[in-house]
Structure 1
Amino acid sequence: MGSIEKLSQHLTSYLEPHQIDLVKRSYYYAEQAHEGQRRRSGEPYVTHPLSVASILSEMHMDHQSLMAAMLHDVIEDTAINKSALSTQFGETVADLVDGVSKLTQIEFESQAEKEAENFRKMTLAMAKDIRVILVKLSDRLHNMRTLGALRPEKKRRIARQTLEIYAPIAARLGMNDIRMELEDLCFQAIYPMRFRRLAAALKSVRGNRKEIVETIQTAIGNRLDRDIIDAAVIGREKHLYSIYQKMRSKKKSFKEIMDVYAFRITVNSVDACYRALGSIHNLFKPIPGEFKDYIAIPKVNGYQSLHTVLVGLNGIPIEVQIRTDEMDGMANQGIAAHWLYKADEELDDGDHIGHARARKWVQDLLEIQQQAGNSLEFIENAKIDLFPDEVYVFTPKGKIVELPAGATAVDFAYAVHTDVGDHCIACRINDRMAPLSRQLQSGERVKIITSEVAEPNPNWLNFVISGKARAAIRHFMKNQRHSESVQLGARLLEQALSPNQLSIEALSDEQTQLLLAQCNLPTMDKLLEEIGLGKRSAMSVVNFVTAENSIKGKSANYAPLVIDNSDGMVISFARCCHPIPGDTVAAHASSGKGLVVHQEGCRNLAEIRNKKPDSISSITWADHVQGEFPVALKVEVASERGIIASMATRISEQGAGIEKIQVNERDAQNMVVQLTLNVANRKHLANIMRRIRVLRSVVRVNRNKN
C-alpha cells in the first residue's frame, strides 16, 4: 500500500509544487471525511481513493483529476455535499467528483435500472469533461484488484458489469493496458478455475517458447540493423482473457493459439514504420490478406499501427505490429497519453487524434441518451456501440466513416447525420444501387439518396446495428405513435361527447381540470393519448363530464371515424377476419394497441361487444383509401402440375402481392391452397378471385372470414 508522501514524490516528476500541495490537501480532506470507515478487507477507507489517484498518476494525469480521485467517494459515502467541495476545491473538481458519484438518493426498481441510470448520469458528466471516465476507470480498476473480500455472487456481478461496460470503454478510449488488466481480473472473478488452469498452462509453455522467441527476435533485429533502421523489437505475449476468448470463438485448442508468435517493432518515425515493414517482408514471407494499415486509417479509438502476419522458420506463424514510440504510448494509454494539463489551460482536442475521437464518441453517446426512452434502452444502445470490431467506408467526397462490423447503409446514413438517416430512401455502394439492408465492407464508397418526405421505417430495426441508428429510429417511432395516439384519442372523445351536444373545445377550463384530476393525469394530451392507445375508454371519460354522470346510450347523429390508409401505429387490422376497404367494419379499443378494426360479422368482435360494449367504436372507410390490406383466400383445386405457378401469375397480373402461401393435400386428386394476399379493396379482390376461378383445375375459391 502506498502513502501520500510516496505519491507526492512521484508527482514531482511532472507537476508543479503548488499543484502537488492541492493534491495533498484533497487527500487530508478525504481522510478526515472517511474517518472511521473501513473497506471490506479491514483497511482504512482512504486507502482506496489514494490508490485510485496513484493509478492516474502512472498515466501522468493532471492535478484536478488526482484531486477528484482522492474525493470521488466523499459525496456518495459521507455527509459532505457538492457545494461544500466546490467551496473548498473549486467547481471543476466538484463537477468531476459529482460525475463519478453514483445516484444514492433515488430508489430503483431493479439493480439493472440502477446501474443503467448511473451510467446515464456519468455520460452527461463525460460530455462536459472527459476526465470523469478516466477517474471512473481507475476507480473500477482498483475495485477489481481488491475484489477478494466480497461474496462470490457480488464478485461475479461486478466483474460482468466491468466486462460489459468498463473494459469496452477502456478499449474505445484506446487505454489498452487498463483494458487488458480489467479483462484478466474479470476472467479470474467469473471463472476462477478456468483462470487458474490457463495461467498454469501459460506458465508451463513460457519456458519452451523462450528459445524460439529469441531466435525470431534476433533475426528481425539483425535484418533491421542491416537496412539501417533504428528499432526496438520485443516479443508480445497475449493476456489470459484474449487467449480464452480465441479458444472459445475460434474453437481452437490452447496449443494452436500458442503456436502463433507475436512481436512489436517500435521506430522513431512514420516513414521508418513502412521501411521496417518492407524489411521484414523480405526476411519472412507475408500471408496474403493479413496486412492491415491502421496508420493511414486509424481505428475508432485513435489506435495506429501496421499489422502483418508472416510465415517464419519451419512454417511458424509470426504476428508483427510496427509503430512509432508515440503511437505505442497511444496504444497502451489511449487518451490518457500526453495528458499534461498546463495550469488553468484547456487541452485542445484537435491537438491529438485520440482526444478528438473520444470527444466524437461521447457526443454520439449524448445523442443516443437524448433519444432513448429510458436508461435501460440507453445502456442497451451504448453497449452496441462499444463493439470493438469496425469497418471503414468512404463518403462520396472521400471522408472516412467508422462503423461497427456488420453495419448497413442505414447505419452509415445516421453516422453522417441524423437528418440524413431520417430521410434516406436508397443507397449507391461503389456507384451501384444496393439494398439499404446490405452489410458494408471496409473500403466501399457509399452514397445515400434522400427525400424530404421520407420517414424512418420501423423495419429498419431488424437490420441496423449501431446504437445511434437504433436510438434515432425508436425516437421517431415514439413521437409518431404519440402524435397519432393523441389525434385518434381526440376523434374518439369527440365521437363519444357528440350525443350530449358537447365537444372537446366546448369544455370549460374548470371541466377540463376536473376531468384531469379524476383521471390523475397532468395534461389533456396525455389523456387523449391514453384514449387513443386503448388504455382508457372514451365513454368512461364522458361519464366524468356529463351532469347526469351517465350516458343514455349511443345516439345515431354522430359521424363515425374514417380510415384513410393502411399505415398507422394506433389503428391496426385484425388478423382473424382481415377487413379490407368496402367491408362493413367496426373497431374496438385494445390496451396499448389503439383501435383494432374487424369485419362487422367477425365472431371475435361479437364476443368483445358482449363483454365490453364501451370499447366498441363506429368506424368506416374513406372514399379513397390508400395502401394495401392483407386478405385470406381458400382455394380448392384438382392436383395438376404447375397449378400453383398459374395462380401466382394470375394474382401478379392483377397487381397484388402474395404474402403467404400454404398447400395442404386433401387426397391424391385434390388439395387446398391457403393464400394471404395484399389487395387495395373489395373490387380488387373480386377481380383476383374471378381470374383464379376460371382456371381449369380450380374447384372453389372462398374468402376466409374467421
Structure 2
Amino acid sequence: MMRQYELVDRVRRYNPQADEVSLNRAYVYAMKAHGAQKRASGDPYFSHPLEVAAILTDMKLDDATIVAAVLHDTIEDTDSTREEIDRLFGSDIGRLVDGLTKLKKLDLVSKRAAQAENFRKLLLAVAEDVRVLLVKLADRLHNMRTLHFMTQDKRARIAEETLDIYAPLAGRMGMQRMRDELEDLAFRHLMPDAYAMIAARLEELHKKNGKIIVKIEKELADELAARGIDAKVEGRQKQPYSVWRKMERKSIAFEQLSDIFGFRVIVSSVEDCYRVIGVVHTKWAVVPGRFKDYISTPKQNDYQSIHTTVVGPGRQRAELQVRTAAMEDIARNGIAAHALYKDGRVADRETLTNESRAYQWLRRTISLLAEGDTPEEFLEHTKLELFHDQVFCFTPKGRLIALPRGATPIDFAYAVHTDVGNSAVGAKINGRHAPLLSELQNGDEVEIARAEGQIPPAVWETLVITGKARSAIRRASRDAVRAQYAGLGRQIVTRAFERAGKPYTEDKLKSVLSRLARASVDDVLAAVGRGEMFSGDVVKAVYPEFMDERKTIAPRPRGEAGWFGLKKAASLVFKFPGETSDEQNRKSIPIRGLQGDLPVRFAPNGGAVPGDRIVGILTPGEGITIYPIQSPDLTAFDEQPERWLDVRWDIEDGRQDFFPARIVITAINEPGTLGAIATVIGDHAANIDNIVINPLSADFREMIIDVEVNDLKHLNAVISHLRARPVVSKVERVNG
C-alpha cells in the first residue's frame, strides 16, 4: 500500500507547487474513515482510493482531483458527510466527492433503473466538473484490475457494465489508453476462452514477425532522417478485444486480418506530419481508400492524426499513424491532457469547454436530461451515441456536423437544431433530393427542407440513430398528444360551462388550479380530454355553488376490431346530446387521423360502421371507444354520464375505408360451407378479419365472423346475400 510521503512525491514530480498539507490531510482522514474495512481481496479498503489516486497522478492531474480520489468513497461507504468534507477540504473537493457518491435508498423497481439513475447523477456532476469523470474512470479501472477477487456473477455484471458504458465513455473522451485496458480486462472476464485464444495467436504472430517489425521501424526511421525529419518511430500491436471485435464485425478469421501490426510516427510539428506522409507515399505503394486526415478534421473526442496504409518491405501491409507529440498526449490521455497544470494552475471549465470537443459533446449529451427523458431512456440514448463510429457532414454554409455512422438526414437535422428536426420534410444530399432515411457518408453536404407547423411522425423514433433525435421526436409526439387531448378538453369544458349557464374564461380557471391539483390550464384541459377529470368538477371548482343536475343518458353499444386511427377520409365528429343540427355542426369536436394521436377504438364486441348512430365513451388515460347506440354494453356506463359523448360520422364522398362489424352465422355442417360463405363476403369486396367456429350439433355449426365493410349499406348487402345461400340457416349482426 502506498505510503503518505509516496503520494506527495508522486504529485510533486510533475507539480513542485503541490499542496502537501491538503494531500496529507486527505490521506489521514480517509485512512481513519475507512478504518478496518476490507476489500474482497482481503486488503485494507483504504488501498483502493490510494491506487485510484496513483492512476490519476500518472495523468499528472491537479491536487484537488488527487484529493478527491483519496476521499471518493468516504461519503458512500463511511460515516463521513458532505458537510464535513466541505468544512475540512473546501466546497470544490466536496462537490467532486459528492458527484462520485451513488444514490442511496433508491425507490426503484429494478437494478437497471437504479443503475440508470446513478449514471444520470454521475453525468450531471460531470457536466459541472469533468474531473468527476476522471476520478470515476480511474476508480473503475482499479476495480477491473482487482475484479478476479469478486464472485462470478458480480464479475460478469461489472465487466458487462464496463464494456457497455465506461470503456466507450473513456474512448469518447479521447482516453484511448484507459479504454484499451478497460476493454481488455472486461473481455478477459466475459469471454475468457476467446481472450486466451486471441492472446495466444497474437503472441505467436509477434514471435514470427518480430524481425520484420524491427526492420520496418529502422527503414522508416532512416528514410525520414535522410530527409531531415526528426521523428520517433514505434511499432504497435492491436489489443485482443480490438482484434475480436473486428473479427465479429466483419465475420472474418484471425488469418484474414491485415492490420494487426501498425506503426506510429511522432514528429514535432504539423508541417512535419504532412512531410512524413509525402515520404512514405513516395517510397511505398499506398493501399487505396485507407488514407484519413484527422488533423484537418479532428474526431469528436479531440483525436488528431493522419492514418495511411502502405505495402512496405517484404510486401508486408503496414498501417501508419502520424502525429505530433501534443497530439499523441491527447490520443493517449484525451480530456485528461487538457487538465494538466498550465503555468501552475488547472484549466478552468470555460477554457476546457472551449478547447475540448469531447467535453462539448458530453455536455450536449447531458443536456438531454433536461428534456424529460427517464433515466433508462437517457442511458439507452447515451449508449447509442457511445457505440457508433462517426461520419462528418456539412451544412450548406460549411458548418461541420459529427454524427454516428448510420445516421440519416433526420439525425442531421436534429443535430443542427431541434426545431430544424421537428419541421424537416425533405433533404438534399450533395445537391440532389434524397429520402430522409438515406444513410449519410463522410463529407456529405446536407440541406434540410422544412415546413412550419410540421410534427415529426412518431415512427421516426425507431428509425433514427442519435439519442438527441430520439429524445426530441418522443417529446414532440408527447406534446402533440397532449395538445390533442387539451383541444378536446377545451371544447368539452366550454360546453360544460354553457350547459351550466356560467361564463367561462381561462383566467377564471387559472385562479382555481390549486383546487384542481393541476399546474396549468392546459393540464386541466388535457386531463378532461383524457377522461381523467370530469368537466362538471371544473365548473364546480370555478363556481362552488353549481349543482350538476344532468340525468343519465341511456343508449345501447357493441364491438371492437382493435385501435383505429381514423383517417381524414373517415373521421368522427363529437357532438353533445339534445342539440339541433346547426348547433351540432357549430359545436362539433373533430377527432381525426393517424397523425392526430388521440386514441380512438371501436367497441370490443362487434365494432361500428358508418350508418350506425353512435356514441363515444371516454376512458381515463386510454381515449375514446365508439359504440353503436343500440349496444347493450352501454348499460355499464349508465351511472357515469360525464364519460358520454354523442358522435356522428363525417365521411368524405367517394372514399372506401373499412370499419369493423361482427356477424353470427348458423350454417349446415358439410364440406364447402365455409368456402361458400367466404365467397359471398369476398364477392362483395368485404374482408374477413377473424373467424371462430363453434359446434352446435352434428348438423350445424355457429360461425362468429369479424368482417370489415365500408358502411351499414355494405354490411346489410353482405348479410342479405349470405341469408340467400342454401347452406346458411340464419345470419345476425352482433351488437354487443
Range of TM-score over shorter length: 0.7 to 0.9
Distance 1:95 1:509, change over 3 A: closer
- For residue 596 of structure 2, what is the aligned residue in structure 1? 568
Amino acid at match of 2:472: A
- For residue 437 of structure 1, what is the aligned residue in structure 2? 437
Q: Tell me, yes or no, if structure 1 residue 533 matches structure 2 residue 527.
A: no
Q: How does 1:687-702 map to 2 (within 5 A)?
A: none
How far residue 106 of structure 1 moved from its aligned partner, in angstroms, is: 3.0
Q: 2:644 aligns to what SS in structure 1? A: strand
Residues of 1 paired with 2:276 and 2:514: CA distance? 78
How far residue 165 of structure 1 moved from its aligned partner, in angstroms, is: 1.0
Q: How does 1:449-468 map to 2 (within 5 A)?
A: 449-468=449-468
- For residue 40 of structure 2, what is the aligned residue in structure 1? 40
Q: Deviations over 1:412-442 (max 9, x none)?
A: 1111122222233322221222222222111
How far residue 94 of structure 1 moved from its aligned partner, in angstroms, is: 0.9
- For residue 645 of structure 2, what is the aligned residue in structure 1? 618
Distance 1:585 1:226, change over 3 A: farther
Residues of 1 paired with 2:590 and 2:610: CA distance? 9
Amino acid at match of 1:595: I
Question: Which sits farther off after the overlay, 558-567 or 264-273?
Answer: 558-567
Residues of 1 paired with 2:461 and 2:34: CA distance? 48
Q: How does 1:359-398 map to 2 (within 5 A)?
A: 359-398=359-398
- For residue 242 of structure 1, what is the aligned residue in structure 2? 242
Q: 1:234 aligns to what SS in structure 2? A: strand
Distance 1:509 1:526, change over 3 A: closer
Amino acid at match of 1:57: T
- For residue 173 of structure 2, what is the aligned residue in structure 1? 173
User: Is the CA contact 1:563–1:622 (under 8 Å) kept in the aligned structure 2?
Assistant: no
Amino acid at match of 1:570: L
How far residue 56 of structure 1 moved from its aligned partner, in angstroms, is: 0.8
User: Is the CA contact 1:461–1:470 (under 8 Å) kept in the aligned structure 2?
Assistant: yes
Q: Deviations over 1:436-461 (max 9, x none)?
A: 22221111111223333333332321
- For residue 615 of structure 2, what is the aligned residue in structure 1? 586
- For residue 317 of structure 1, what is the aligned residue in structure 2? 317
Residues of 1 paired with 2:19 and 2:471: CA distance? 42
Distance 1:456 1:384, change over 3 A: same
User: Is the CA contact 1:532–1:570 (under 8 Å) kept in the aligned structure 2?
Assistant: no
Q: Tell me, yes or no, if structure 1 residue 609 matches structure 2 residue 634.
A: yes
User: Is the CA contact 2:608–2:659 (under 8 Å) kept in the aligned structure 1?
Assistant: no
Distance 1:409 1:549, change over 3 A: same
Q: Tell me, yes or no, if structure 1 residue 103 matches structure 2 residue 103.
A: yes
Distance 1:673 1:623, change over 3 A: closer
Residues of 2 paired with 1:575 and 1:446: CA distance? 47
Q: Work out which of the two has the higher radius of gyration on C-alpha atoms and give 1 or 2.
A: 2
- For residue 268 of structure 1, what is the aligned residue in structure 2? 268
Residues of 1 paired with 2:117 and 2:626: CA distance? 39
- For residue 559 of structure 2, what is the aligned residue in structure 1? none
Q: Tell me, yes or no, if structure 1 residue 76 matches structure 2 residue 76.
A: yes
How far residue 563 of structure 1 moved from its aligned partner, in angstroms, is: 1.1
Residues of 2 paired with 1:68 and 1:117: CA distance? 22
Q: Deviations over 1:625-648 (max 9, x none)?
A: 89x9953699xxxxxxxxxxxxxx
Distance 1:497 1:41, change over 3 A: farther
Residues of 1 paired with 2:418 and 2:66: CA distance? 37
How far residue 140 of structure 1 moved from its aligned partner, in angstroms, is: 0.9
Q: 2:658 aligns to what SS in structure 1? A: strand
How far residue 117 of structure 1 moved from its aligned partner, in angstroms, is: 0.9
- For residue 28 of structure 2, what is the aligned residue in structure 1? 28
- For residue 133 of structure 1, what is the aligned residue in structure 2? 133
Residues of 1 paired with 2:632 and 2:393: CA distance? 56
- For residue 553 of structure 2, what is the aligned residue in structure 1? 554
User: Is the CA contact 1:368–1:381 (under 8 Å) kept in the aligned structure 2?
Assistant: no
How far residue 107 of structure 1 moved from its aligned partner, in angstroms, is: 2.6
How far residue 598 of structure 1 moved from its aligned partner, in angstroms, is: 5.8
- For residue 61 of structure 2, what is the aligned residue in structure 1? 61
Q: 1:320 aligns to what SS in structure 2? A: strand
- For residue 446 of structure 1, what is the aligned residue in structure 2? 446
How far residue 543 of structure 1 moved from its aligned partner, in angstroms, is: 12
Q: How does 1:198-597 map to 2 (within 5 A)?
A: 198-257=198-257, 260-341=260-341, 347=347, 355-489=355-489, 491-492=491-492, 529-534=526-531, 552-554=551-553, 556-557=577-578, 562-563=589-590, 565-566=592-593, 567-572=595-600, 574=602, 584-590=613-619, 592-597=621-626
Residues of 1 paired with 2:545 and 2:157: CA distance? 56
Q: Tell me, yes or no, if structure 1 residue 116 matches structure 2 residue 144.
A: no
Distance 1:271 1:617, change over 3 A: same
How far residue 130 of structure 1 moved from its aligned partner, in angstroms, is: 1.3
Amino acid at match of 1:609: L
How far residue 588 of structure 1 moved from its aligned partner, in angstroms, is: 2.9
Q: Deviations over 1:40-65 (max 9, x none)?
A: 22222211111111111100111111
Q: Deviations over 1:487-535 (max 9, x none)?
A: 434545666788777898799999987776xxxx888865654453356
Residues of 2 paired with 1:227 and 1:183: CA distance? 39
Distance 1:671 1:510, change over 3 A: closer
User: Is the CA contact 1:123–1:365 (under 8 Å) kept in the aligned structure 2?
Assistant: no
Question: Between Structure 1 and Structure 2, how many residues are aligned?
Answer: 643
Residues of 2 paired with 1:318 and 1:398: CA distance? 34
How far residue 300 of structure 1 moved from its aligned partner, in angstroms, is: 0.8
How far residue 36 of structure 1 moved from its aligned partner, in angstroms, is: 2.3
Identity of aligned residues (%): 35
How far residue 408 of structure 1 moved from its aligned partner, in angstroms, is: 1.3
User: Is the CA contact 1:72–1:101 (under 8 Å) kept in the aligned structure 2?
Assistant: yes
Residues of 1 paired with 2:160 and 2:43: CA distance? 25
The CA RMSD measured in Å over matched residues stands at 4.0
- For residue 638 of structure 1, what is the aligned residue in structure 2? none
Q: 1:469 aligns to what SS in structure 2? A: helix
Residues of 1 paired with 2:370 and 2:532: CA distance? 27
User: Is the CA contact 2:536–2:548 (under 8 Å) kept in the aligned structure 1?
Assistant: no
Q: Deviations over 1:154-191 (max 9, x none)?
A: 11111111111111110100000000011011112212
Residues of 2 paired with 1:344 and 1:218: CA distance? 39
How far residue 571 of structure 1 moved from its aligned partner, in angstroms, is: 4.2
Distance 1:290 1:113, change over 3 A: same
Q: 1:2 aligns to what SS in structure 2? A: coil
Q: 1:54 aligns to what SS in structure 2? A: helix
Amino acid at match of 2:645: S
Q: Deviations over 1:588-611 (max 9, x none)?
A: 33454312446668xxxx375254
Amino acid at match of 1:554: I
Residues of 2 paired with 1:578 and 1:422: CA distance? 35
Q: Deviations over 1:268-288 (max 9, x none)?
A: 111111111121222321111
How far residue 666 of structure 1 moved from its aligned partner, in angstroms, is: 8.2
Q: Deviations over 1:280-302 (max 9, x none)?
A: 22232111111111111111101
Q: Deviations over 1:118-158 (max 9, x none)?
A: 11112221111111111111111111111122111111111
Residues of 2 paired with 1:672 and 1:287: CA distance? 66
Q: 1:310 aligns to what SS in structure 2? A: strand
Residues of 1 paired with 2:329 and 2:344: CA distance? 25
Q: 1:385 aligns to what SS in structure 2? A: helix
User: Is the CA contact 1:587–1:597 (under 8 Å) kept in the aligned structure 2?
Assistant: yes
User: Is the CA contact 1:562–1:621 (under 8 Å) kept in the aligned structure 2?
Assistant: no
User: Is the CA contact 2:267–2:323 (under 8 Å) kept in the aligned structure 1?
Assistant: yes
User: Is the CA contact 2:335–2:358 (under 8 Å) kept in the aligned structure 1?
Assistant: yes
Q: Deviations over 1:217-275 (max 9, x none)?
A: 22322322232222111111111111111121212222333774311111111111111
User: Is the CA contact 1:406–1:440 (under 8 Å) kept in the aligned structure 2?
Assistant: yes
Unaligned runs of 5+ in 1: 635-663, 677-684, 690-703
Residues of 2 paired with 1:361 and 1:219: CA distance? 40
User: Is the CA contact 1:233–1:264 (under 8 Å) kept in the aligned structure 2?
Assistant: yes
Residues of 1 paired with 2:7 and 2:75: CA distance? 23
TM-score by length of 2: 0.78
How far residue 193 of structure 1 moved from its aligned partner, in angstroms, is: 2.8
User: Is the CA contact 1:4–1:50 (under 8 Å) kept in the aligned structure 2?
Assistant: no
Question: Which sits farther off after the overlay, 170-179 or 280-289?
Answer: 280-289
Residues of 2 paired with 1:217 and 1:123: CA distance? 42
